[in-house]
Amino acid sequence: MCCWSITASMANSNDMPLYKDPHASVELRVADLLKRMTLKEKIGQMIQIERSIANSSNIQEYFFGSILSGGGSVPAENASPTDWMDMVDGFQKAALGTRLGIPLIYGIDAVHGHNNVYGATIFPHNVGLGCTRDPDLVKRIGAATALEVRGTGIPYVFAPCIAVCRHPSWGRCYESYGEDPDLVRKMTEVIPGLQGEPSGLGIPSVASQLNVAATAKHFVGDGGTVNGIDENNTVSSYKRLVSTHMVGYFDAIAKGVSTIMVSYSSWKGKRMHSNRILISHVLKKQLQFKGFVISDWEGLDRITTPWGVNYTNSVQLGVNAGLDMIMVPFNYTTFQESMFSLLESKSILMKRVNDAVRRILRVKFTMGLFEYPYADRSLASMVGAQAHRDLAREAVRKSLVLLKNGKSSHSPLLPLDKKASKILVAGSHANDIGNQCGGWTITWQGNSGNITKGTTILEAISSTVSKETKIVFEAAPNANFAKDKGFAYAVVVVGEIPYAEYVGDNLNLTIPEGGIETIQNVCSSVQCVVVLISGRPLVVEPYLSMMDALVAAWLPGTEGNGVSDVLFGDYPFQGKLSRTWFRRADQLPMNVGDKKYDPLFPYGFGLSYSY
């Protein structure tokens, strides 16, 4: 799709504009279209607005380059794939009705599957995938996610996150594959999964209409802020910034990633959204990134404190820094007015605008958007397809990390006995698909409860054990609930409630209080395996002696059968920690390779059934 090589001289002779000729080279098509565009059309291409304010009228008046769904922004509650396609195609029809007919590129977060869409397959979050140490697995997950996204008519995703999380207090640490830059670098194999195999030479490429344009995010240093505070300051030398936080971008660019999103965070006190040296000089010139650079949600507003002060100055700083597409997402009229004013005063030069629009058009041409602007209705069945759920189940199995098995090496509890006469399943997360999936699921922050289709861990256990086994479930058992009741063992499933960026920042990193009580109440009375559902390591040392076994299940997503597959021994434990498991929160930050390194479980730790 990205490698048309027929020259302009071979274009047809029907006076068709060169930019509409699929046989012409991408660069010639870009140049031809760019010279036909008015200033208003160029500025429009730089604007990305939220779907909730988009309509045919403003699309045709402002020539928007892109529309997005923010977290939880959907055409209707529990919308079907057809509902999504109808909405996206409606916006696209309006865009194609403009003077030049430049198609929109519709974008959405798809950070662990097509996570905004009811009924989609929700894969484990990246922290769990990092524990698999399996780049081929994440590549297959990328390909499956692309099919589900295309199954709703959307061609562009804001994924993957290739942050290197160095402090687990950060509320989006689970979006990071791990604390080791080399591990994160290897997991960029998700990009050719999403986009298809790269064309070579680092040129943005989307192989077919079964793939999507991807976004590497968030450039750069988002995982290294002081105390893991979201949107905060990363304090490091340039050498450390490159060696820790930038290496994933080397591989992402080599693999043809289409877009790169800039971080809300700062480096040495300077907001990344206004950092011209890192965006224009390092990313675009030194690393030779040819796709477009996109801001994060209201990223220009957040250049200042408080947000939004002197917006025109923020537009000047951000656009001159090298931002190409601006996720406005609502205040598009003010952005347009600011751009006109800044161009008139020469505070922004026309060549900067042309560079931005050239990059945006390049991506649109290389992904075939001009030839295939509408949804492929035959792909609707890809959303939540069984093959994808099977893949997610495999990913869950491979991501689980066994941290403890038995109160001595001679008394392992796992694998569990499927034929036990009576077992207890306890805890707030055992039968809750929302807790199991975590943040960025259906809504931005996620929610507890029956928020989408899937299999809970309780349901998975019920389908695994013998039909003669009696299962007792209690979400919050009291201190005497399990005592002398004849339970062979208990499976205790507890952990964090869903959260995402900012809201999820947590310096204490303790298991929520109800989870601790459940562990104490159950494990004091019966043999127990604790399955911890979390986006990061939590303080477990004070309770570890109570547990017969401990499994880090991270945020496994919709396929709870992947947990039961391993608990009952149908598959082995394979996961190895992608994060250092600390003893106390006051030890943080603590990462593999540090001089002072005294973890409860070191980076790379993970038991198996055979010691």
pLDDT (0 to 100) of residue 14 = 64
Average pLDDT over residues 265-286: 98
pLDDT tens readout for residues 127-155:
999 999 999 999 999 999 999 999 999 99
Question: 131 and 105 in one domain?
Answer: yes
Return the structure tokens found at 12: 């047809």
Question: 198 and 165 in one domain?
Answer: yes
In a domain, 140, yes or no: yes
* 3-state percent breakdown (helix, strand, coil) of the chain, nearest 5: 40, 15, 50
Average pLDDT over residues 197-220: 93
pLDDT above 70: percentage of residues in the chain? 97
Top pLDDT among 101 and 409 is at: 101
Return the structure tokens found at 158: 């804001």
Question: 368 and 304 in one domain?
Answer: yes
pLDDT tens readout for residues 480-537:
999 999 999 999 999 999 999 999 999 999 999 899 999 999 999 999 999 999 999 9
In a domain, 481, yes or no: yes
Q: Report the C-alpha gap between 38 and 42 in whole angstroms.
A: 6
Question: 371 and 225 in one domain?
Answer: yes
pLDDT tens readout for residues 449-478:
999 999 999 999 999 999 999 999 999 999
In a domain, 18, yes or no: no
DSSP reduced 3-state for 402 = strand
Tell me, what CATH number does 470's domain have?
A: 3.40.50.1700
In a domain, 298, yes or no: yes
Considering the chain, what is the average pLDDT of its residues?
Answer: 96
Average pLDDT over residues 338-348: 98
Given a cut of 70, whether residue 12 has pLDDT beyond it is no
Question: 306 and 190 in one domain?
Answer: yes
DSSP strand pairing (270-271 vs 266-267)? antiparallel
pLDDT tens readout for residues 420-438:
999 999 999 999 999 999 9
Question: 335 and 213 in one domain?
Answer: yes
Residue range of the domain that includes 565: 400-587
In a domain, 276, yes or no: yes
By annotation, the residues acting in catalysis are 296, 501
pLDDT (0 to 100) of residue 202 = 76
Q: What total of structural domains would you count in the chain? A: 2
pLDDT (0 to 100) of residue 611 = 46
Q: Is the pTM of this model over 0.85?
A: yes
pLDDT (0 to 100) of residue 319 = 98
Residue 14 makes CB contacts below 8 A (sequence gap 6+) with none
Question: 360 and 463 in one domain?
Answer: no
Q: Report the C-alpha gap between 37 and 288 in whole angstroms.
A: 26
pLDDT tens readout for residues 551-594:
999 999 999 999 999 999 999 999 999 999 999 999 999 999 99
Question: 293 and 258 in one domain?
Answer: yes
Q: Which of 567, 524, 531, 576 is nearest to 545 (CA)?
A: 524
Question: 430 and 359 in one domain?
Answer: no
pLDDT (0 to 100) of residue 8 = 35
Query: Phi and psi for 237 in degrees, rounded to 5?
Result: -70, 165
pLDDT (0 to 100) of residue 5 = 31
Residue 526 makes CB contacts below 8 A (sequence gap 6+) with 424, 482, 483, 485, 487, 489, 490
Residue 449 makes CB contacts below 8 A (sequence gap 6+) with 432, 433, 434
Tell me, what CATH number does 342's domain have?
A: 3.20.20.300
Question: 226 and 318 in one domain?
Answer: yes
Given a cut of 70, whether residue 2 has pLDDT beyond it is no
pLDDT (0 to 100) of residue 3 = 37
Given a cut of 80, whether residue 266 has pLDDT beyond it is yes
CA 378 to chain centre: 26
In a domain, 419, yes or no: yes
pLDDT (0 to 100) of residue 13 = 45
DSSP string, 532-547: EE-SS--B-HHHHTT-
Question: 204 and 81 in one domain?
Answer: yes
Q: Report the C-alpha gap between 234 and 240 in whole angstroms.
A: 11
Question: 221 and 107 in one domain?
Answer: yes
In a domain, 602, yes or no: no
Consecutive H or E run containing 50: strand 47-50
In a domain, 173, yes or no: yes
Return the structure tokens found at 383: 């959303």
Query: Phi and psi for 455 in degrees, rounded to 5?
Result: -115, 120
pLDDT (0 to 100) of residue 1 = 38
Given a cut of 70, whether residue 111 has pLDDT beyond it is yes
